[in-house]
Amino acid sequence: MSYVDEVLEVVQKKNADQPEFLQAVTEVLDSLRPVIDANEELYRKNAILERITEPDRQFIFRVPWVDDKGQVQVNRGFRVQFNNAIGPYKGGLRLHPSVNLGIIKFLGFEQIFKNSLTTLPIGGGKGGSDFDPKGKSDREIMAFCQSFMTELSKYIGADVDVPAGDIGTGAREIGFMFGQYKRIRGTFEGVLTGKGLTYGGSLARTEATGYGLLYLTQEMLKCHGQSMEGKTVCVSGAGNVAIYAIQKAHQMGAKVVTCSDSTGWIYDPEGIDVELLKEIKEVKRARLTEYAAARKSAEYHEKKNGEHGVWSVKCDIALPCATQNELDIEDAKMLVANGVIAVCEGANMPTTLDATKYLQQNKVMFVGGKAANAGGVATSALEMSQNSERLSWTFEEVDSKLQDIMITIYHNIDDAAKRYGVEGDYVAGANIAGFEKVVVAMLAQGVC
């Protein structure tokens, strides 16, 4: 049995109740086969795969807080510190009822390779809670965030582990958590990224993931003799990543005709009005029904199981920016039948494994989230640099560094795929390029 298959068998046995984690490990190790086969003896002797699939440590803790009725509520908090071979652990905090250890582990595992790809010195980690911020008052959000950070603060630090935002954790939550960390530890340090601009945040961080997705997509199209200009684009999601992906796609001359949230989706043949979407999602925190109510050209469709949603709309480029496993094999078939040329993931693992394979087999340019959405964490690392320097860079400086990073990432994954004989397979290219750097560091640092 090959080394990869042996390790996959062990990982499956040890983590049988964590389907998302198993999916991520299988996808990564499968695509690393060419590198692992070429170095099997060295990696096997040093147990590289066993070590890289087992987190350094994982914390699970109780988060008690008091709701507006005076009732004590209890949630479960998580932080998984996966691998710090190339820098302090770095990865977001997800607040969503679906959060469990398996989801946090899948995200933390993927983060190792993504962070390595950014070219910056950051390791992989992830955290969060099954707390649902929807419908909570500001006071309840603060009570939860303070309690969550009271425990989390024991395990993190500016040179140890630097969490950030993710689904459900935006500027408001980061602010409450930062305040509590400062209060408990008595130190003002860059322990979280995604901070407000008046206390150490970076300009362009809000836009970074969506903008970065488009910088990489544009570079890939350019290398294939195409551009974003005049393209029709389908985006899913209506959160941070989706909004700024739509904005940048429009700036590049494309037309984005869809977006979605957890209850429904919008088709707007005239192009999504980003300012209206921002007002509804960032300010009012309302449903997409309000978008349709305010805009004549838009159709609202209630989400229904078994239907293709945004992926049923004919487009040249699809950018899934909502959540994991939101684009399945049936959606992929629909996209291919409609002539899609590129799918780039703004979200983490939005495309199922069989859908990814189908798109690749049908010659669709496909870039996975590890590379395509790395702009967010890259800019978080730029926020860490600014905090260490105690300086703030201009929007243009950060944005231009982000562009350079995303263009470099595209070329690195393209080169890695070519080096191992899988040209055009950007999923393999991303995993290989990210993995190589981490493994060199792990080998240099001995058994740890």
129 interacts with ligand NDP by CB under 6 A: no
Q: Which of 90, 105, 114, 126 is catalytic?
A: 126
Q: How far is the CB of 94 from ligand NDP (least distance, A)?
A: 7
Near ligand NDP by CB under 6 A: residue from 7, 63, 162, 167: 167
Residue 248 CB burial class (10 angstroms; 0-12, 13-18, ≥19): buried
Q: How far is the CB of 379 from ligand NDP (least distance, A)?
A: 8
Partners of 391 in beta bridges: none
Asked if residues 375 and 211 have their Cβ atoms less than 8 Å apart, the reply is: yes
Active site residue 114: no
Residue nearer to ligand NDP on the CB measure, 252 or 321: 321
Which residues, 6 or more positions from 55, have their beta carbon under 8 angstroms from its beta carbon? 80, 81, 82, 83, 105, 108
436 interacts with ligand NDP by CB under 6 A: no
173 interacts with ligand NDP by CB under 6 A: no
162 interacts with ligand NDP by CB under 6 A: no
Asked if residues 61 and 101 have their Cβ atoms less than 8 Å apart, the reply is: no
Q: How far is the CB of 253 from ligand NDP (least distance, A)?
A: 23
Near ligand NDP by CB under 6 A: residue from 24, 191, 238, 274: 238
Near ligand NDP by CB under 6 A: residue from 18, 84, 150, 209: 209
Number of shown-chain residues binding ligand NDP (CB under 6 A):
24
Characterize the bridge pairing of strands 57-66 and 72-83. Answer: antiparallel
Task: Count Cβ neighbours within 10 Å for each residue of 97-113 and write b for 16 or more, e otherwise.
Answer: eebbbbbbbbbbbbbbb
220 interacts with ligand NDP by CB under 6 A: no
Which residue in the shown chain puts its C-beta closest to ligand NDP? 239
Distance in Å from the first CA to the final CA of the chain: 26
Using CB under 6 A as the criterion, what x/- string covers residues 364-383 for binding ligand NDP? ---------x--x-------
Two tokens at 289?
């029904």
Q: Which amino acid is at 241?
A: V
Segment near ligand NDP (CB under 6 A); pick from 80-88, 122-130, 223-231, 259-267:
259-267
141 interacts with ligand NDP by CB under 6 A: no
Near ligand NDP by CB under 6 A: residue from 166, 316, 399, 414: 166
Residue nearer to ligand NDP on the CB measure, 348 or 387: 348
Distance CA 78, CA 101 (A): 7
Near ligand NDP by CB under 6 A: residue from 348, 386, 387, 431: 348
Near ligand NDP by CB under 6 A: residue from 141, 221, 342, 347: 347
Residue nearer to ligand NDP on the CB measure, 347 or 409: 347
Q: How far is the CB of 335 from ligand NDP (least distance, A)?
A: 16
Distance CA 98, CA 251 (A): 35
403 interacts with ligand NDP by CB under 6 A: no
Asked if residues 405 and 210 have their Cβ atoms less than 8 Å apart, the reply is: no
Distance CA 293, CA 276 (A): 11
Partners of 367 in beta bridges: 344
Residue 156 CB burial class (10 angstroms; 0-12, 13-18, ≥19): buried
Asked if residues 345 and 317 have their Cβ atoms less than 8 Å apart, the reply is: no
261 interacts with ligand NDP by CB under 6 A: yes
Q: Rg for the chain (alpha carbons), in Å? A: 21
Asked if residues 191 and 156 have their Cβ atoms less than 8 Å apart, the reply is: yes
Query: Where on the chain is the footprint of ligand NDP (CB under 6 A)?
Result: 165-168, 209, 237-242, 260-263, 321-323, 326, 346-348, 373, 376
